[in-house]
Structure 1
């Protein structure tokens, strides 16, 4: 505390700082490195506007604009034009200094800081998850710090030395970290590439939706498999040994994963034979709706009430499925209607046809047609038949609309809609009948 209150102590500290700067900073090699880094900022500043203009064109690249990560990446790139040019020029200076045998510690320090800063900016733009974004930032700054102080290579050697021998295979901490990092990057690239290919193939109208889904799924599976194999090869795994592992996996699949494999194979069959495809309106059991997507294991069917059923692909192969839009989207619906025996059925049939024709979803060709189906106990039974070409919009709503029109039309023209009734006839016989009436309340 006494040192902090003593003014002479501050002078001593200042002299020590000046002496350290003279001994470590105000040296010709250090000053030359700083001056060279300042000089390369001039061409970087002059060229960053044309580069930013070129990078801004990525913001209008329609094939990739549907991906939120790419949009954020394209939006941040023009702002990074200057640091990108500067880091390239600084690394070029570092390479020249290494080849010429000059000191390059300051140049590498600046390059490492620029690398870390650019990596963090790009990671924050691409990765929407804050946890992953902070993880990438911490790793980038950690690698930059180790590189600055010259501990990066010794750290790698230490991590590589922490290893264990498993037969002929050597497993080290550095190898595992490298494999995890490689796997994460490769899986992201594979997923991004598969989404891009899926978007491109959806524009090829000569291919059916089922073939499009099949090609997209197969490509995604291939890309993910290649990513895993490359990640394993980075740690020195002998890929030929996977043949034995594949045989063991095959036995396990045959014994314990029969249903899962059956669903996978059924999914491929559904995509190949094109019996169902996304957008089809189907009914299976008590489930009625339209197909949202075809997955490797299940098919998503969405009903009119918003419920989404995940139906195993095997059920779509082995059970009866009603596909209302397999070859033709036209669908005929039937509505039973009853009228009283006292009404004219010819006139009622014309009124039913007019009521159905008022609905916009009912097709004009073929138009609605009402038939007399029989003579019931309480009514003359009619049946309204009509066609629609949009079954995905539901059938309950169109039936309700037509019934309301029939009700209004029958009320307007005094057509009676009967209800169940019974006539009781009493015959005189040996059984006396007595009718009693209760007195009115007081």
Structure 2
């Protein structure tokens, strides 16, 4: 290995001495400028921050290093007929690694925007890609591959070389990334334009991604040389696992498709599940994300949406009801209180005029009259608490202006009282102790 390594470095030194450095650097700068100009021109016509190839800027997409690589290869092929090429060959290896890294990173960041595992995979893959690029530039890649091929690992009765294992993992990973990119492209170019319903679009996207991942995994295994007939045994084991240990996961998976297909609940609906009220923001394969107006999120298993009671608070006419309850003193004027409550609701711009707000005297208590104000809004996605707060503030201001007092509930008094209160004597009524005024 030392002799081979010495000859490699001697060859590098010879190429460096024979190469025309300034000419190659000038050609490299020209390739970079042409690639940047083409990428920037394309971004003006097909500008998209979510594009894998173009990226948020001309330099951050995968297209810029790929175009530069093609131009460098062309320049290298032409210049090699006249002299030794050194710098363009080094730049070609680095640009190839950069293009692959950009593509993988952009696809994973779009598919898993908040995944820590995806970020870790990106870093590991980037270091490996740069390492391969450096070895290829120095001419040591072939020697390293031969050394890895000579190392074997025993997997049962089968002996697999370390090189084959690495190539298998690499091909499977790149195939999965390509599948994720293809499914994302299919969603943007086809599903978003053909399917308008969010739930049906989610169903089509889940089915497409599942099929593509399965096909990509089978293709990558066959490329490595794995006998696909051996997968029948694994398929049987997976079936048994789904029937016993993974029945909850399978149930949630199937329930997610049923929710999306039946469309009783849709993305964007306001629902109440097990006392938690909010808006459905996403329906995933195993769970549904419900976000409340205060920003809290609830993760609900899809099986719960099928087997338990779920209240859909969103009507087909997109009206959403809110309530405000108050208790005033017994001697208050009922019509005056009703008018104050209706005026407080009608004064808010987000409260609908039709259906109009309504006030009910829901209960006559021993210490006051309980009223319930019901009003409707058409945009619950913009928040509900702020509307309820505005109505409550207007109600309180109206009651104070009209000098209508809120009732104070009677409190229980311990009997006998250890510390008597002046002006208050215990009163016994129906076996219970209440406060009474002397």
Same fold (TM over 0.5): yes
| Map of 1:145 onto structure 2 | 138
Query: 2:200 pairs with 208, 211, 215, which one?
Result: 211
Q: What runs of 5+ residues in structure 1 fail to find an aligned partner?
A: 1-19, 98-103, 427-442
2:79 equivalent to 1:90: no
- Please tell me whether Structure 1 or Structure 2 has the larger radius of gyration of its CA atoms: 1
Greater fraction of residues in helix: 1
Number of the residue aligned with 1:118: 95
Q: 1:38-53 alignment to 2 at 5 Å?
A: 52-53=36-37
Alpha-carbon distance in 1 for matches of 2:371, 2:293? 28
Measured at CA, do residues 130 and 63 of structure 1 come closer, stay the same or move farther in structure 2, by a change above 3 Å? Answer: same
Give aligned pairs, total: 386
Is residue 59 of structure 1 aligned with residue 43 of structure 2?
Answer: yes
Is the contact made by 1:280 and 1:290 (CA closer than 8 Å) also made in structure 2? yes
Q: Which residue of 1 aligns with 2:421?
A: none
Q: Could you say what secondary structure the match of 2:295 adopts?
A: coil
1:165 shift after superposition: 7.9
TM-score under structure 1 length normalisation = 0.73
1:221 aligns with 2:192: no
How far 1:280 sits from its partner (Å)?
Answer: 1.8
Other-structure match for 2:415: none
Counterpart pick for 2:279 among 274, 290, 304: 290
1:174-213 alignment to 2 at 5 Å?
Answer: 174-200=163-189, 203-204=192-193, 206-213=195-202
Which residue number corresponds to residue 316 of structure 1? 305
Kindly state the Cα deviation for residue 244 of structure 1 after the two structures are TM-superposed.
2.5
Preserved CA contact (<8 Å) 2:153 2:162: no
User: Partners of 1:368 and 1:70 in 2: how far apart?
Assistant: 52
Alpha-carbon distance between aligned partners in 2 of 1:407 and 1:45, rounded to the nearest angstrom: 72
Q: C-alpha separation between the residues in 2 aligned to 1:409 and 1:273?
A: 47
Give the 3 Å change call, closer, same or farther, for CA 223–385 of structure 1 in structure 2. same
Q: CA deviation at 1:249?
A: 1.3
Q: Which aligned pairs between 1:222-371 and structure 2 lie closer than 5 A?
A: 222-325=211-314, 327-371=316-360
| 1:38 CA displacement | 9.4
Q: How many angstroms apart in 1 are the aligned matches of 2:185 and 2:203? A: 15
The offset of 1:414, in angstroms, is 2.5
3-state DSSP class of the match of 2:193? coil
Deviation at 1:250?
0.8
Quick one: distance in 2 between partners of 1:38 and 1:424?
105
CA RMSD between the two structures: 4.0
* Post-superposition CA distance 1:73-119 (Å, at most 9, x none): 8426558866642322434677x89xxxxxx9x45x66642322313
